[in-house]
Structure 1
Amino acid sequence: MSSCSSGSEEEDEGLDSYRKGGYHSVKIGDSFAGGRYIAQKKLGWGEFSTVWLAYDTQSSKYVALKIQKSAPQFAQAALHEIQVLSAITNGDPSNIKFVGHLVDHFKHAGPNGQHSCMVLEFLGDNLLRLIKYNRYKGLAMNKVREICKCILIALDYLHRELKLIHTDLKLENILLYSAIVPSKDPVKSGTPPILQRPMSEGTNPSFGLSINSSEKKLKQKARKAVARISERRGFVEGVGKGARCLDGIDLRCKVVDFGNACWESKPLAQEIQTRQYRAPEVILESGYSFPVDMWSFACIAFELATGEMMFTPTGGEGYTEDEDQLALMMELLGKIPRKMTARGARSKDYFNRYGDLKRIRRLKNLALDKLLVDKYTFAVTDAREFAAFLCPLLDFDPEKRPTAQQCLQHPWLNISS
């Protein structure tokens, strides 16, 4: 599993959370599970855990080692994720459903407490990294179709066979089978595994450097500033350059990160999904099921094809981010049906009795196919075909959205180009 599914590479988690109940301090060469897994390098981090590239001495393969914080609430979250991952893995013995698998799990005792650990199959870069590598340009439509098929097979398996809702589908949670650049892939590069702690290994839990806390924090701030500048510069520079050639890159991918997944019969939270991929029924609090994942999938497909997010709401003077997001949806997809605006617990906060937004009145409507032509220079035929695939997935009424199984039969997925 790549780093970006679990945290940010541009920033690090800092030292403050390396305490009782927090992260476990890991050094390169540390061993786990009785010496079976050897830490190679940190891949990433999240609010609940750090993720490390590790070498499995039993299978002679690289794996991703996810080490949870030790406080009880994090241990409980890990238990839920292990249960979900076990069901996913056991139901896919041939490993053909394009979902990340659980290899092993165990507990590890350290100075900050007992940590739940998950061993996951090691995968490559996430789809956001692919977009960045492609200079924020849209991928060729045949490549978008290839990726979409993998995601839909995964969703069909999760929804129809396991009755699981992912609830946080986004580019960062979909990983390619291998790294985009072969030299960065520990398997393709032929880099020998580290089997013991290097002699120069220091005391820092993240980087193996022995530096004081204040100096560490200053370096963190500097790295964050450089990352933000580089991100902006990379985007600006990418605008004037064409897309890269992606031929030779294995675009098969897997859906990962099931920490927020829930069974259809047991929803875990009312507010789900990352903002830009959030379905309208979640904003309105009118209940949710499998169609929320289909909405997120449509947003992902659009982003792959254009290099930009479909909806990027911002709060403004007199209105909230939620209201702006609803307005953006209505500009692209039309007015939300009255029955949808009437039944959500939050509907009265946003809509008047006529089904119009209370605080954002002037909307600039532009149909999806026209947007694809005017802004993203799609050919008219390509725009119409792609919009015909996406628009049903973006129906405001979740009951009318097609299932993943139905999407797999759509003509757009079988166009040869």
Structure 2
Amino acid sequence: MSNSSCSSEDDYSASEYSDVESILSDEEEDIEDYKKGGYHPVCIGDRFDNGRYIIVRKLGWGHFSTVWLALDILTDTHVALKIVKSADRYTESALEEINLLECVKKTNPHSRGYQYVAQLLSHFWHTGPNGKHACMTFEVLGESLLSLMKRYHYKGIPQPIVKRISKQVLQGLDYLHRECGIVHTDLKPENVLVWIPNIEEYLKKETAEVLTAIKQRDDASSSRKNISITHTTTTGRPQPKEHKPWLTETEANGLTKSQKKRLKKKKKKMMAEAQKKASAIDEEDELGKLTDKIDNLSISNVETATTVDGISQDDDSRTGKTKVIPSSTLDIASILLPRDIDDEDERMKVFDKIIVKIADLGNACWMDGDYTHVIQTRQYRSPEVIVGCKWTNEADMWSMACMVFELLTGEFLFDPRAGSKYNKDDDHLAQMLELLRTVPKILTSAGELSRDFFDRTGKLKHIKKLRYRRLRDVLHDTFLMPPEEADAISAFLLPMLEMDMTKRASPSQMLESPWLQDIP
């Protein structure tokens, strides 16, 4: 149980926990992934879906997509626009995700758990320089529970808030499992987002400057195009490079009066052309300044860009360079926390009435499938997945217990490490056995990988010495919780940590837990 970062060697590695005060990520997508089959290059002010969505700023990124805050001019509201990489494998995954999200959206909007799952608003295709991209729009949500943990300095979120979060997530899972037939497969703090009341009122104020600058840039661009058209109409086809605009005074001597008159008229005409050309250059300079202004605008006061090998990383049509616009999650502190209150504890009371939503169904699947492939981020992975047993929605409940423990303590419940004679999976199973003591026969013999970890007697092959401890003792001794609290939390978590997945508690059963009964 440590607060250290997760190894990147896992298929579903968690975001690293850093000891910094900022809730923003210092890392961005790899510029090398802006290629055929990769990310679509996006600039602030870009329009999507026949001009319906205007990009305001970047919210985040993943290995499969980038996510942007956009204004929907049809509804005059903001959306989170997800643009998926264009390679076939990403497109196929996106189409499956859309099917799952459409099911979530249509199955039962009146269900009590419906409101605790992030909703898909629309989807469409966008063709760009790197291919054809699946795009999805979602309701705009705030920071994740990981960011909320950071606000509490990894010392644990207050119990009443964790209870409220737990009840809402369980209701969301109940809707996904029982009504939609969907397994999330990657439940963790990063994938549960905070809902922000009156979000539109805030966004419209904060993005007004960006939208104004975008309009100014577009107006300047339109003006520049009109000048170009006028110039072409006036002067006809472009003059050849060797053309002389007018003769010198010496060359003009000896001309007839009529020839001199025509020469004077021609000179006046060419002067007008030169002035128009200069005006067009001025307009282009002004357009460049407006574009730079838009690129430099940031609602969350983050750096405007990062660089790779000294190259500015933003899609810039004027320079041909590529620049990665930095992510900037919606900062709840600037929206919810009262600025006129100095006492931090008083300011944090705003989270007493927190509302959260389960997000990111990118790895989700239907419950009626036959699955044995690896799912879940390492620290939240269930035992049946590790040994290669067939798994289903019960895997989400194991992750749920691990997440609640982490919210309460600020540390992982299980944080396996490889040793000289065993790997991470060995250590993960050992940590589970130390806490839960018994292991069902289905895990020791029925999994595709069971024989890699267990001998014929059901003992671990590679780790012989185990240090047994009860969950309530961990809570009491390590995290100094009063005995009654430790007992109550342990009683809440253990039904979800049943090693035999067939005996693991469901969301609807957990909603009846005494630990949640004081939450309205």
- State the TM-score, normalized to the length of structure 2: 0.69
Note the C-alpha offset of 1:139. 1.6
1:215 is aligned to: 310
Note the C-alpha offset of 1:266. 2.5
Tell me how far apart the structure 2 counterparts of residues 117 and 64 of structure 1 sit (CA, whole Å).
10
- 8 Å contact 1:125–1:178 — kept in the other structure? no
1:210-244 deviations in Å (ceiling 9; x for gaps) = 997521499xxxxxxxxxxxxxxxxxxxxxxx989
Note the C-alpha offset of 1:267. 5.0
Q: Which runs of 5+ in 1 are unaligned?
A: 219-241
1:344 is aligned to: 447
Whether 2:71 is the aligned partner of 1:71: answer no
1:334-367 deviations in Å (ceiling 9; x for gaps) = 1312343111111110111111111111111110
1:145 is aligned to: 163
1:246 is aligned to: 348
Q: In the superposition, relative to structure 1, how do residues 201 and 24 fare at CA in structure 2: closer, same or farther (>3 Å)? A: farther
Aligned to 1:200, the other structure's residue is in SS state helix
1:117 is aligned to: 135
Tell me how far apart the structure 2 counterparts of residues 135 and 320 of structure 1 sit (CA, whole Å).
31
1:191 is aligned to: 206
Aligned to 2:172, the other structure's residue is in SS state helix
- 8 Å contact 2:159–2:408 — kept in the other structure? yes
2:248 is aligned to: none
Q: In the superposition, relative to structure 1, how do residues 324 and 210 fare at CA in structure 2: closer, same or farther (>3 Å)? A: closer
Tell me how far apart the structure 2 counterparts of residues 210 and 253 of structure 1 sit (CA, whole Å).
30
Select the residue among 82, 86, 107 that pairs with 1:91. Answer: 107
- 8 Å contact 2:29–2:61 — kept in the other structure? yes
Aligned to 1:188, the other structure's residue is in SS state helix
Select the residue among 381, 394, 417 that pairs with 1:291. Answer: 394
Equivalent residues, number:
387
Tell me how far apart the structure 1 counterparts of residues 108 and 442 of structure 2 sit (CA, whole Å).
39
Tell me how far apart the structure 1 counterparts of residues 448 and 346 of structure 2 sit (CA, whole Å).
46
2:185 is aligned to: 167
CA RMSD across the alignment = 2.9
More helix by share: 2
- 8 Å contact 2:47–2:55 — kept in the other structure? yes
Q: In the superposition, relative to structure 1, how do residues 167 and 367 fare at CA in structure 2: closer, same or farther (>3 Å)? A: same
Whether 2:74 is the aligned partner of 1:58: answer yes
1:278 is aligned to: 381
Tell me how far apart the structure 2 counterparts of residues 319 and 411 of structure 1 sit (CA, whole Å).
40
Q: In the superposition, relative to structure 1, how do residues 208 and 32 fare at CA in structure 2: closer, same or farther (>3 Å)? A: farther
Tell me how far apart the structure 1 counterparts of residues 434 and 518 of structure 2 sit (CA, whole Å).
29
Note the C-alpha offset of 1:191. 1.2
Tell me how far apart the structure 2 counterparts of residues 349 and 257 of structure 1 sit (CA, whole Å).
32
Tell me how far apart the structure 2 counterparts of residues 42 and 209 of structure 1 sit (CA, whole Å).
11
1:178 is aligned to: 196
Identity fraction in percent: 41
1:175-202 deviations in Å (ceiling 9; x for gaps) = 01029xx9xx774363134332752349
- 8 Å contact 1:126–1:171 — kept in the other structure? yes
Note the C-alpha offset of 1:61. 1.4
Between 165-174 and 52-61, the greater mean CA deviation after superposition: 52-61
Aligned to 2:348, the other structure's residue is in SS state coil
For residue 176 of structure 1, what is the amino acid of its counterpart? V
Aligned to 1:22, the other structure's residue is in SS state coil
Tell me how far apart the structure 1 counterparts of residues 449 and 387 of structure 2 sit (CA, whole Å).
5
Q: In the superposition, relative to structure 1, how do residues 351 and 60 fare at CA in structure 2: closer, same or farther (>3 Å)? A: same
- 8 Å contact 1:203–1:210 — kept in the other structure? no
Whether 2:369 is the aligned partner of 1:266: answer yes
- 8 Å contact 1:27–1:201 — kept in the other structure? no
- 8 Å contact 1:64–1:119 — kept in the other structure? yes
Aligned to 2:187, the other structure's residue is in SS state coil
Tell me how far apart the structure 2 counterparts of residues 337 and 57 of structure 1 sit (CA, whole Å).
56
Whether 2:97 is the aligned partner of 1:81: answer yes
